[in-house]
């Protein structure tokens, strides 16, 4: 049997496996791992733009950081087209669902600022048109570098291809607000290699994106997490004993689950500036379990490594399922072995009555979890959906050993700073 372990044979570490047996433990609607219902009368941040993935400004250690008392978030953003003939249905009404579903193709990075950690004011686009080398500006991480206000924005340049890139600029504050300046030169860092991480040539549905740089609190080195799929031609992966795990009799059939090959990638910087990176084998693979482990990120707590990632119901493999939401794994050292939190991995999922209410959760080191509203059922029948494209209520979770618990709910888009930096 050729397994994942064989594929990463001669490497410094072996990826941890999220197995089918782990995923069989996922229980939707467990109140300790389910996001409270989002009401259909939510407020929207803007009627001009949709926002989704939210990226709070932070330092390299993961602390959410304000500057001169201003909180700053970056969001994937796309214009709303309420009057564009292209998005009117045959009765002349705005088809907001189609407009929303098309947003990924025109995603751009915008920023917002706030004095209160909520009530966000739109700052504008981070990069002027023409600066980013591809059509789509997909998710990543803004890092505040120093007291001069320099910021490295790591993100994904998509279509054509998918390249992890970075662009350096500066945050400038006044009494009245924040501007981002100088984000003018985008530096490509790396792409999938086809040996550890699947390329577009191997699979047209490949994922390679969402960089999240960090400094390892133990070894002090600069690393980066990212989303990937395990290398190999689509359909060529083996779901063997290791990927299946310890399942009960009658659960050995893996169906077509070889098509689901998500992994959480890691790279190490060869320099202190984070301009030169070497990809390492994935930290975690989900072959035979799920096809997407998106926006991976860490919380470092109690000397442990809490690895979080977002995933969908529709990306699960045959025979396993779970809600849209954030999943997590914990290890005592950076390279694992990782075990799924709560036994299954599920940390905060949508309730089954509102399966698409939120997505793209980001667990912050203070236990607050931010996400965006996707769509919430309205009316008696629940068949009509209200599209969000705005910030969801923030949820508080408690992380304790190998378990997590939902303990609080806060205001829409509440992302309070953990520390403030006074610019020089």
CB of 81 to ligand FRU, least distance (A): 17
Asked whether 294 and 311 are in contact (CB, 8 A), the reply is yes
According to CB under 6 A, which one of 4, 76, 225, 369 is a site residue for ligand FRU? 76
Binding-site size, ligand FRU (CB under 6 A): 15
Quick check: is 99 catalytic? no
CB of 360 to ligand FRU, least distance (A): 4
Within 10 angstroms of residue 380's Cβ, the number of other Cβ atoms is: 6
Rounded to the nearest 5 percent, the helix, strand and coil shares of the chain are 10, 45, 50
Can you give the C-alpha Rg of the chain in angstroms? Answer: 21
Touching ligand FRU, residues 174-213 (CB under 6 A): 209-210
Q: Which two three-digit tokens encode residue 215?
A: 């400094």
Asked whether 199 and 169 are in contact (CB, 8 A), the reply is no
Give the nearer residue to ligand FRU in terms of CB position, either 159 or 236. Answer: 159
Binding flag, residue 106, ligand FRU (CB under 6 A): no
Quick check: is 53 catalytic? yes
Binding flag, residue 280, ligand FRU (CB under 6 A): no
According to CB under 6 A, which one of 64, 107, 189, 397 is a site residue for ligand FRU? 107
Give the nearer residue to ligand FRU in terms of CB position, either 76 or 392. Answer: 76
Touching ligand FRU, residues 324-363 (CB under 6 A): 359-360
Give the nearer residue to ligand FRU in terms of CB position, either 225 or 254. Answer: 225
Binding flag, residue 168, ligand FRU (CB under 6 A): no
CB of 204 to ligand FRU, least distance (A): 16
Give the nearer residue to ligand FRU in terms of CB position, either 7 or 312. Answer: 312
User: Per residue, what are the HEC states of 142-182?
Assistant: EEECCCCCEEEEEEEEECCCEEEEEEEEEEEECCCCEEEEC
Buried b (16+ CB within 10 A) or exposed e, 206-239: bbbbbbbbbbbeeeeebbbbbbbbbbbeeeebbb
Question: Which x/- pattern, by CB under 6 A, does the window 45-64 give for ligand FRU?
Answer: -------xx-----------
Which backbone phi and psi does 50 adopt, to 5 degrees? -90, 145
Give the C-alpha separation, 270 to 221, whole Å: 9
Touching ligand FRU, residues 224-243 (CB under 6 A): 227
User: Can you tell me which residue has the tokens 């100088």?
Assistant: 182
CB of 165 to ligand FRU, least distance (A): 13
The residue length of the chain stands at 424
CB of 284 to ligand FRU, least distance (A): 16
Q: Which two three-digit tokens encode residue 185?
A: 């030169």
Nearest to 50 by CA among 92, 110, 95, 93: 110
CB of 295 to ligand FRU, least distance (A): 6
Q: Distance between the two ends of the chain, CA-based, in angstroms?
A: 60
CB of 356 to ligand FRU, least distance (A): 12
Touching ligand FRU, residues 288-317 (CB under 6 A): 294-295
Give the nearer residue to ligand FRU in terms of CB position, either 139 or 264. Answer: 139
Give the C-alpha separation, 234 to 415, whole Å: 39
Give the nearer residue to ligand FRU in terms of CB position, either 310 or 421. Answer: 310
Selected catalytic residue, list 210, 291, 294, 391: 294
Give the nearer residue to ligand FRU in terms of CB position, either 1 or 204. Answer: 204
Give the C-alpha separation, 232 to 260, whole Å: 12
Binding site for ligand FRU (CB under 6 A): 52-53, 76, 104, 107, 138-139, 156, 209-210, 227, 294-295, 359-360
- The set of catalytic residues is 53, 294
């Amino acid at each position: 049997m050729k397994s994942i372990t064989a594929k990463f044979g001669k490497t410094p570490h072996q990826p941890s496996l999220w197995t089918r047996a782990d995923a069989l433990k996922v229980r939707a609607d467990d109140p300790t791992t389910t996001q409270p219902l989002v009401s259909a009368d939510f407020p929207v941040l803007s009627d001009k733009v949709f926002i989704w993935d939210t990226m709070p400004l932070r330092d390299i250690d993961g602390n959410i950081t304000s500057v001169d008392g201003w909180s700053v978030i970056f969001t994937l953003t796309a214009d709303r087209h309420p009057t564009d003939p292209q998005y009117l249905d045959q009765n002349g009404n705005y088809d907001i669902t189609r407009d929303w579903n098309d947003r990924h193709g025109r995603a751009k990075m915008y920023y917002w600022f706030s004095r209160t950690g909520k009530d966000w004011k739109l700052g504008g686009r981070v990069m002027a048109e023409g600066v980013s080398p591809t059509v789509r500006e997909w998710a990543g991480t803004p890092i505040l570098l120093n007291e001069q206000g320099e910021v490295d924005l790591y993100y994904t340049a998509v279509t054509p291809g998918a390249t992890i890139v970075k662009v350096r600029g500066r945050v400038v504050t006044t009494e009245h607000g924040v501007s981002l300046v100088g984000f003018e030169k985008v530096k490509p860092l790396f792409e999938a290699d086809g040996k550890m991480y699947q390329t577009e040539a191997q699979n047209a549905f490949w994922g390679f994106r969402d960089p999240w740089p960090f400094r390892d609190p133990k070894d002090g080195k600069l690393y980066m997490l990212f989303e990937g799929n395990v290398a190999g031609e689509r359909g060529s992966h083996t779901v063997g004993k290791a990927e299946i795990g310890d399942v009960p009799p009658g659960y050995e059939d893996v169906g077509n689950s070889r098509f689901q090959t998500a992994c959480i990638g890691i790279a190490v910087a060869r320099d202190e500036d984070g301009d030169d990176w070497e990809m390492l084998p994935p930290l975690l693979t989900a072959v035979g379990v799920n096809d997407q482990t998106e926006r991976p990120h860490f919380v470092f707590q109690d000397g442990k490594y809490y690895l979080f990632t977002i995933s969908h119901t529709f990306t699960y493999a045959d025979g396993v399922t779970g809600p849209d939401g954030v999943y997590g794994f914990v290890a005592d050292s950076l390279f694992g072995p990782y075990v799924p939190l709560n036994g299954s991995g599920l940390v905060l999922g949508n309730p089954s009555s509102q399966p698409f209410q939120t997505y793209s959760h980001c667990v912050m080191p203070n236990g607050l979890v931010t996400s965006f509203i996707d769509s919430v059922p309205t009316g008696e029948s629940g068949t009509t959906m209200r599209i969000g494209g705005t910030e969801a209520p923030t949820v508080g979770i408690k992380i304790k050993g190998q378990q997590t618990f939902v303990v609080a709910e806060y205001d829409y888009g509440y992302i309070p700073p953990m520390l403030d930096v006074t610019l020089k």
